[in-house]
Structure 1
Amino acid sequence: MVTCFSVFSIAQENTASNVGFRIFTKVNRPDPKLVEGFHNIPVANIADMMNRTKVMDARIKKINKNNLLGPAFTVKVRSDDNLMAHKAISMAQPGDIIVIDAEGKLDNAIIGEQMVRTAIQRKLGGIVVDGAVRDSDYLAKQTDIPVYAAGITPAGPYKDGPGEINTPISVGGVVVRPGDILVGDDDGVVVIEPQSAQYVLEQSMKKNAGEAKLIEQITNGSRDYSWIDKALKEKSVQIIDDVYK
């Protein structure tokens, strides 16, 4: 009989036997060159090229200065427990982003200084938590690894489980699958599916080039703003040539 303690050796055909307390050891990671292509592309421009979708909720905020880029290594935890987060950090490969679904609850910190130091030592690419962190002074001042979270609390977590590693999760209102590409900057975090990443990258680069041209036009005073009145006319705006009474 399979027990929760044999989860590390369960065969693929038996993965449904302990739903909620499972670890998948393999991740289909995207080509590193494809991932690196998103370096220095603003998250806002990437999101625009995905119809303003796949953007994590504004609750997920940057804790320190570093921007985020890498493939997702997903973790589902009980909202007050970080046992599986510890395991994930010990398993992930250099460059992986630990993405933790703690249900957005802020009663207990899932990540703290010791775990971040371990992630740095293992050369991981970052941590995103839909939940709370603590030791925020250290997390904010260190510049080795980006950290994003929904909040901060001094209350520590339990270490009992259950949880899952490398299954689909929900973080900041967005589904994140193992191997998805995460890009984060001061505006927030966007999630890119690897199968559409090349197209999104190409379109984002075009968007960047177009914005650079517009900024140049704004700077030298040559930008055409006639599109504003055209849009208002198409929406049948009422223009009253008088003061409000």
Structure 2
Amino acid sequence: MKPVIVTDPPRADLDQVARLADYGVATVHEALGRSGLLSAGLRPIQDGVRVGGTAVTALCWPGDNLMIHAAVEQCREGDVLVVTTTSPCRDGLFGELFATALRHRGVRGLVTTTGVRDVADLRALGFPVWSAAISAQGTVKATAGAVNVPVVVGGQLVRPGDGILADDDGVLCVRREDVPSGLEKARARLEKEAAAREAFATGQLGLDRYGLREKLEALGVRYLTAEEYEKEQA
């Protein structure tokens, strides 16, 4: 890894990302073919918060938050800071002081594969965080990393400027080029879900609505009475 700070990378349209976030991570994930979910054990430290913004990435060394300080300068209104490390680290690289600085710059939240600390203060501040751990373990500021370079988080490539959606269900990365089409697909998905919800509310079963009885039959699933089942088991 070459130490570097990339300034002003291209970003997805912020209004479009915010509208996409309104659909929710689960709906957008399904609409995009179940792609982009950051499966890195990331969980929110708060409940009921939904954010959408553009990624600023920070690649740090384990136990070292120097590059988060550098990343703060590169953040602007509507960004979401995405932090990861060159090898696994659960130390508390981020706390309330960082959040205070990022709020001043209009940053909408943090996503990190590391730990965070000052959790009560972060909640009181209303700064949304999705992290892999909570840890009071402190850090140093000694080794150069990178800011605004592509990083891999939970098996997904996150590029600076990509759309980041986060809520109670997890964190999703949407390639900046895919945000406009993602809006169309998410809208169609929501309409489909609304129709299914109305059908279920009137008693229709998923087995019938989705043609799953035929699938069960094709898979060799049989319906037996309790008496028939007991006889077969005897």
TM-score normalised by L of structure 2? 0.89
- Map 1:202-217 onto structure 2 (within 5 A): 202-217=184-199
Q: In the TM superposition, what whole-angstrom CA distance separates every residue of 1:105-133 from its partner, at most 9, and x where no partner exists?
A: 21x21101111111112211211101111
- SS of structure 2 residue aligned to 1:211: helix
Give the residue type in structure 1 aligned to 2:229: V
> Aligned to 1:127, what secondary structure does the other structure show?
strand
C-alpha distance in 2, partners of 1:224/1:177? 38
Residue 233 of structure 1 is aligned with which of 200, 217, 225?
Answer: 217
Question: Which range moves more in the overlay, 88-97 or 73-82?
Answer: 88-97
Where 1:149 maps in the other structure, the secondary structure is: strand
Checking the alignment, whether the CA contact within 8 Å between 2:21 and 2:50 is kept in structure 1 is no
| Structure 1 residues 70-114: Cα deviation after superposition (integer angstroms, max 9, x where no partner) | 0100110002100100111122111111100124421x2110111
Equivalent residue letter for 1:208: L
Q: Which amino acid aligns with 2:176?
A: P
CA drift at 1:68: 2.0
Of 40, 49, 53 in structure 2, the residue corresponding to residue 70 of structure 1 is: 53
The question of whether the paired residues in 1 share the 8 Å contact of 2:20 and 2:182 is answered with no
Q: Which contiguous aligned blocks of 4+ residues in structure 1 show a shift greater than 6 angstroms?
A: none
Could you tell me whether the CA contact under 8 Å between 1:58 and 1:188 is conserved in 2?
A: no
1:93-172 equivalent positions in 2, closer than 5 A: 93-102=76-85, 103-106=87-90, 108-143=91-126, 145-172=127-154
Q: Is the 8 A contact 2:25 2:171 kept in 1?
A: yes
Aligned residue pairs total 225
Alpha carbons 1:104, 1:172 under 8 Å: kept: no
In structure 1, how many angstroms separate the alpha carbons of the residues matched to 2:161 and 2:10? Answer: 6
**Contact 2:36–2:156 (CA under 8 A) maintained in structure 1:** yes
User: Which residue identity does 1:48 align to in structure 2?
Assistant: E
Classify 1:33/1:234 alpha carbon distance in 2 versus 1 (closer, same or farther; 3 Å).
Answer: same
Corresponding position of 1:48: 30
Structure 1 residue 22: Cα displacement = 0.8
* Sequence identity percentage: 27
Question: Where does structure 1 lack aligned partners over 5 or more consecutive residues?
Answer: 1-18
Range moving further from structure 2, 235-244 or 189-198: 235-244
| Equivalent position to 1:184, from 148, 166, 169 | 166
- Tell me, in whole angstroms, the C-alpha distance in 2 between the residues paired with 1:69 and 1:124: 10
**Native 8 Å contact 2:26 2:169 kept in 1:** yes
Q: Does 1:79 align with 2:62?
A: yes
Counterpart residue identity of residue 29, structure 1? R
Cα distance between partner residues in 2 of 1:177 and 1:126? 16
The aligned counterpart of 1:10 is none
Q: What is the letter of the counterpart of residue 219 of structure 2?
A: K
Q: Deviations over 1:29-48 (max 9, x none)?
A: 11223223213202111111
Question: Which whole-Å CA distance do the structure 2 matches of 1:174 and 1:187 have between them?
Answer: 17
Counterpart amino acid of residue 108 in structure 2 = G
- The one-letter code sitting in structure 1 at the alignment partner of 2:11 is R
Flag the 1:136–1:33 CA change in 2: closer, same or farther, 3 A.
closer
Moved more, 73-82 or 95-104: 95-104
Contact 1:129 1:148 in 2 (8 A): yes
**1:223 positional shift:** 5.0
Q: Determine the C-alpha separation between the residues in 2 that align with 1:127 and 1:36.
A: 16
The code of the aligned residue for 1:115 comes to F
